[in-house]
Copies of this chain bind each other. A is one copy, B any other.
Amino acid sequence: MKIAVDAMGGDFAPGAVVEGAATALFDFPECQLVLVGHAGKLKFYLEKYGISNHPRIEVVHAETVVEMCEHSTAALRAKKDSSITVCAKLMKEGKVQAVVTPGHTGAAVAAMKVLVRTLPGVDRPALAALMPGQGFDFLLTDAGANTDCTPLNLVQFAVMGEVYAQFLFGESEPAVGLLSVGGEDVKGNDLTKSVFKHLAALKMNFTGNVEANTVYEGGTRVLVCDGFTGNVFLKCAEGLAKSVIHWFKHSVLGNPLRMTGAALVKSAFLEVKARGSAEQAGGAPLLGINGICIIGHGTSSPLAVRNAIKVAAEC
- A interface, CB within 8 angstroms of B: 68-71, 106, 132-134, 144, 147-148, 179, 181-182, 184-190, 192, 211-217, 225-229, 231-244, 246-248, 251-252, 255, 257-258, 260-269, 271-272, 275-276
Contacts and interface: CB of A to CB of B under 8 A. Distances in A.
Contacts of A69: 184-186
Contacts of A264: 257-258, 260-262, 264
A258 B252 contact: no
Contacts of A265: 248, 252, 258, 261-262, 265
A148 B247 contact: no
19 contacts: A69-B184, A132-B247, A144-B181, A181-B231, A189-B226, A192-B228, A211-B235, A212-B232, A216-B240, A228-B229, A232-B233, A232-B236, A244-B276, A247-B271, A251-B271, A257-B264, A258-B264, A261-B262, A262-B268
Given A148-B190, A268-B248, A182 B68 contact: yes
A241 B240 CA distance: 7
Contacts of A148: 189-190
A133 B247 CA distance: 9
